[in-house]
Amino acid sequence: MEPSTPFAGALRAQQPGQPGQPGHSGQPGHSGQQHQPHHGQHEQQPHHGHPQQPQQISSSMTNISGNSSGIAYRIDHRDSNTLVVANISSGASLKVRPGAMVAMEGTVQIRGEIKVSFRKLFTGGEMAESIFTGFGEVLLAPDIWGDVIPINIDGQTTWRIGKDAFLACTSEVARKNKSQGIGKGLFSGEGLFVTEVTGHGILFVQSLGAIIKRELRQGEEWVVDNGHLVAWTATYKIERIKGGGLLSRAATDEGLVCRFTGPGTIYIQTRNPENLISWIQAQMPAQSY
């Protein structure tokens, strides 16, 4: 039965073989039902004293589409006004960050769930989410201007995501909070708990600014300024580096960074929320009493 509403058919209106149709994607590393172009990532070789060609960082504003667990999706307007168009099949469901829904067809039902107890606030537990069921289209958007990408959760690799990164996921994807220790909790910018993601399906993550991807080989290291993390599989540790205040707004001559070690994948956002807050506060007129 085909739904009929003001936005019915935003996915169905695409003709087969055109960009935006499930099966065409500009983003690597997602569901096997998508076809993506290569991004020309270069393999670094030992330089023996000669400069190396920089590794190309994967980033694209191409619309992304795919299909997983009964959810056909398309990610549009990736120029900072990103919108996710998800078409739910009968019997499927989509778990969504509360407040992320822009609009939906009348054939879609929504219910809220809060899977947390007072005790789990301190030990780590699941978070609030909205569950969309029925059939038809749902339009989702991130909290602020930025990007959204889908990450394929394959049942083998455990992903970790930043505290504000979750936007939505398909029904077989599981999330739970896990303590990352006092040191990382205080200085990584992610708090005492990070979200671990397992299961099978698609995870949609959001960012402030664009999202870029970096693949690390065994033993390869990459240093990321705290506040820019979106999602990662590689291990990391917090360290202080002499930055003259350039890497941190703290009143100190040291900056706090996350040093990742491969193998693994890292997604980062090009803007830092704390820096944005500081910039907004600096533009506000001083209060007079």
**194-211: per-residue pLDDT in tens?**
789 999 999 999 999 999
Q: What is the DSSP letter of 139?
A: E
* Alpha-carbon distance values, 131 to 27, 98, 141, 198 (Å): 26, 9, 16, 18
> To the nearest whole number, what is the mean pLDDT of the chain?
76
Return the pLDDT at 223: 92
Return the pLDDT at 219: 96
What pTM did the predictor assign? 0.71
Return the pLDDT at 37: 40
Q: Please, which residues bridge with residue 136 across strands?
A: 88
**Closest Cα to residue 78, out of 27, 30, 119, 120?**
27
Mean pLDDT of 127-156: 93
Mean pLDDT of 238-265: 68
Tell whether the torsion through CA atoms of 135, 136, 142 and 144 is positive or negative: negative
Q: What is the DSSP letter of 123?
A: H
Which one is predicted more confidently, 30 or 172? 172
Return the pLDDT at 9: 47
Q: In the predicted model, is pLDDT for residue 275 greater than 90? A: no
Mean pLDDT of 186-197: 63
pLDDT in tens, 39-64: 444 444 444 555 555 565 555 678 99
Classify 78 as helix, strand or coil: coil
- Written as one letter, the residue type at 31 is S
The DSSP result for 258-283, as a single string, is EEEESSEEEEEESS-HHHHHHHHHHH
The DSSP result for 217-234, as a single string, is -TT-EEEEETT-EEEE-S
pLDDT in tens, 71-126: 999 999 987 899 999 999 999 999 999 999 999 999 999 998 655 444 444 444 44
Most confident of 17-26, 85-94, 229-238: 85-94
